[in-house]
Structure 1
Amino acid sequence: MKNDDRETVEQYLTSWLAQKKRTLKPLTHYSYSEYVNKRIIPSLGNHRLQQLRHEDLVQFVTDLEEEGRGVPTIKRILAVLRSALGDAERTKRLSHNPAEHVHPGRVERTEIQPWTAQQAVAFLDHVTGAPPWQVDPLANLFETIIGTGLRRGEALALQWSDINVETRTMYVHRAVSDVGGKLIVGTTKTSGSTAGVGLSLRVVRALERQRQQQQQDRAKWGEGYDDQDLVFAREDGAMLRPERVLKRFRTLSTEAGLPTCRLHDLRHLAATLMLTNGVPLALVSKTLRHSQVSITADLYGHLTPEAAHAAADALGAALDVAAAEAQSERSARNKTTSRPHQPV
């Protein structure tokens, strides 16, 4: 293909997005489109693609910072731009990727502060209610998320065919995302997500209550019930919208007098409770379905000081035992070589 030196960044990115739609997941493509159309093109769209310089992109980042954009957001925008320009380099439209060495300021990680176990119980007590008629329709959903560490999209796409109550196992294959107001069901975030998740008796009881509730809903709606085999659904069987679940969670948290908490923080709560109760990091990582244990360690390593001390003590003890054995062998040899000669 002959390069067009008049091609603008806007023209190139528009074409690039259309091509990426065939290979990207719907939610990922939607995110790319948002960054390209709302952030990158308004600032860089009029530049000629072949004349785009490193300095132009440094100024672009500076402008984003002055607008008050957070470092994580800027990093994501740059990642999209770097990917697009990298493809331009591979197809010989550019001699090099001008975004390759452009970086925002240092990311200041906000330490996760999930609820305590007592706060989680207070929340569950509130959503369950004392008399049965006060039970919130989403109570079993929240119990399951807290008890398994499921992501919101995974929980809302969960089907009864994914659950084996007898073996207390759940298989996570799907996740739902809201893409521009349309619910899209796709594969899970990581390949590790398809591994079986163990279910506590608390979660099993919540699922049994959920099944009973759905049986009542089916009887009420009759032929109008939209049966998609979903574990957690609207009264008529249709899929719950992620935003509706989030809003309800915030309302219930406020009613219960609890600190502000993201729905995703329930996943962090599950990880915290497992780690602080002695569950090995590798098993926590498998339960959360992280692709690598290093991700779990990076997120939650600060929650396992006891485990870290135990590992260090075990290592030190092993070396002490080896040193003692070596010393014993040396002493035995010294006694043998220093034994006085006995006359015949």
Structure 2
Amino acid sequence: MKHGTWTYCVDLTPDEGRRRTRRRGGFATRAEATREMRAVLDGELRGVYENRRTTVASFLREWLVLQKVRLAPNTYAGYRACVERDLVPAFGHRRLLDLRPEHIDAWITAQLDAGRGAVTVYRAASTLRNALNAAVRSWRLRYNPADKEHYADQLTNLFEVMLGTGMRRGEALALHWDDVHVMDRKLFVRWTLAAIDNGKLTLGKPKTPASRAWISLSPRVVAALHRQAALQMSAHPEGRLEGLVFSTPGGAPLRPQWVLDQLRKRAAEISLPAIGLHDLRHTAASIMIAEGIPLAIVSKTLRHSTLATTINLYGHLFKDSADQAVHALSQALDRAQAGRTQTHFSRDDGGENPMPVAA
């Protein structure tokens, strides 16, 4: 300790036979110096050095310098505008290691509540995410705190689409933008995603020929797809919309098991029982049946190969409907029988034709 500050000194792994010593001072407390020293030792072990003095602002500006030599001028200008206009004022004062997902979530919420456009806000968040990905790749961060926002928004949209269309898990995860026709409120199921051979992801044909079909989209599903489009366009340097509708930041498919884990985690957070992704499809079917949609339409919407498949899967939901059906049949037969007993035919004395006479 010197002049009211603390200093640490550690010996690191020798470099080409020469001793390496790291000495850093100026820490206000012993605890702060100890945390920094432990971070250095841990980083030496893992090949990572997390500098607690680096602020978000200094890192972002350092990152911009590297982007300038590799990006087109217009793309670089867009990144720079996001950094200086939005990110530095919002997060620049924080130390890079102290930036948390809740800080980013709170800023996005505040910006949207203030009336800023969703595309503008998510473009800034995407710029931050891209920059922090670089920090992770260069071993300056252990994880990217901005990734949480990407996945959270994306999963909300994914679950909305699955519940609002009755799509199977693999079909939703394999959906491509080329097969989405928002203006027509339709999408085409062309692929399904499956994990085979110890988790290897592959795209293949849907479950049955009937599964490869058009699906109508409700306003809620259209809104979810609009949100997802804005999210992906903001994440792409050129603002293009291509590839999978739901994907990792690099464009790869989402792992079904990871999506399932996230769904169960969210369900637990709001005290719901554990559910599976396929339960969203069953829920969609149950709601349609409860709302009185004809079984043939339910079957068509779910893209079952036969009506019998729908009956076998959801026949137990039709108990009340079956009761109503047989009661309606009984009432119709009672009315017909009553009509026959209340009317008889007779002949007058000299006539040849029967005359209906009211009883």
TM-score band w.r.t. shorter chain: 0.5 to 0.7
- Deviation of the 1:327 alpha carbon: 4.1
Amino-acid identity (%): 44
Structure 1 equivalent of residue 165 of structure 2: 148
SS at match of 1:137: helix
| 1:37-72, Cα deviation, whole Å (9 max, x unpaired) | xxxxxxxxxxxxxxxxxxxxxxxxxxxxxxxxxxxx
Which of 236, 254, 257 aligns to 1:240? It is 254
CA offsets per residue over residues 162-191 of structure 1, 9 Å max, x none?
222122112212101000222111111122
In structure 2, the residue matched to 1:256 is 270
Unaligned runs of 5+ in 1: 1-127
- The residue type equivalent to 2:165 in the other structure is T
**C-alpha distance after superposition, 1:119-143 (max 9, x if no partner):** xxxxxxxxx9993686533110011
Alignment of structure 1 residues 1-344 onto 2, 5 Å: 131=109, 135-180=152-197, 181-219=199-237, 229-327=243-341, 331-333=343-345, 335-336=346-347, 339-341=348-350
Alignment partner of 1:185: what SS? Answer: strand
Give the alignment's TM-score, normalised by structure 1: 0.54
Q: Which amino acid aligns with 2:179?
A: D
- Per the TM alignment, residue 313 of structure 1 is displaced from its structure 2 partner at its CA by 3.0
What is the CA distance between 1:306 and its match in structure 2?
Answer: 3.4
Report if aligned partners of 2:154, 2:246 keep a CA contact under 8 Å in 1.
Answer: no
**RMSD of aligned Cα (Å):** 2.7
CA distance in 2, matches of 1:311, 1:162: 40
Task: Give 2:170's aligned amino acid.
Answer: G
For 2:257 and 2:273, the matched residues in 1 are separated by: 20
Native 8 Å contact 1:228 1:238 kept in 2: no
Instruction: For residue 264 of structure 1, give the secondary structure of its aligned residue in structure 2.
Output: helix
Partner of 2:97: none
Distance 2:331 2:279 in 1: 38
CA contact (8 A) 1:153 1:176 kept: yes
Q: CA separation of 1:281/1:291 partners in 2, compared to 1, >3 Å: closer, same or farther?
A: same
* Residue 194 to residue 323, structure 1, CA distance change in 2 (3 Å): farther
Q: Distance in 2 between matches of 1:228 and 1:239?
A: 13
Partner deviation per Cα, 1:92-150 (whole Å, 9 max, x = no partner): xxxxxxxxxxxxxxxxxxxxxxxxxxxxxxxxxxxx99936865331100111111111
CA distance in 2, matches of 1:159, 1:341: 84
The CA distance in 1 between the partners of 2:166 and 2:321, in whole Å, is: 21
Letter in 1 for 2:295: L
CA distance in structure 1 between the partners assigned to 2:155 and 2:350 by the alignment: 88
Query: Separation in 2 of the partners of 1:196 and 1:137?
Result: 23
Q: What's the CA shift for 1:276?
A: 0.8
Change (3 A) 1:191 1:320: farther
Unaligned runs of 5+ in 2: 1-104, 113-124, 126-148, 352-359
Quote the Cα distance in structure 2 between the aligned partners of 1:182 and 1:228: 23
> d(CA) in 2 for partners of 1:197 and 1:313?
35
> How far apart are 1:321 and its partner, in Å?
4.4
Aligned counterparts of 1:206 and 1:171: Cα–Cα separation in 2: 16
Note the C-alpha offset of 1:205: 0.1
Q: C-alpha separation between the residues in 1 aligned to 2:324 and 2:186?
A: 31
Q: Which residue of 2 aligns with 1:43?
A: none
TM-score calculated relative to the size of structure 2:
0.52
Larger Rg: 2
8 Å contact 2:173–2:254 — kept in the other structure? yes
Counterpart-to-counterpart distance in 1, 2:320 and 2:188: 31
In the aligned structure 1, how far is the partner of 2:293 from the partner of 2:324?
13
Q: Could you tell me how far apart the structure 2 residues matched to 1:201 and 1:246 are?
A: 25
Secondary structure of the residue aligned to 1:176 is strand
Q: Using the TM superposition, give the Cα deviation of residue 341 of structure 1 relative to its aligned residue in structure 2, in angstroms.
A: 4.8
Number of matched residues? 206
Report the AA paired with residue 230 of structure 1.
L
Contact 1:197 1:287 in 2 (8 A): yes
Distance 1:173 1:235 in 2: 23
The answer to whether the 8 A contact 1:145-1:267 is kept is yes
Between the aligned partners of 1:321 and 1:164, the Cα distance in structure 2 is: 50
Secondary structure of the 1:177 match is: strand
Conservation of the 8 A alpha-carbon contact between 1:170 and 1:199: yes
Aligned mates of 2:290, 2:283 — CA distance in 1: 11
**Equivalent residue letter for 1:288:** L
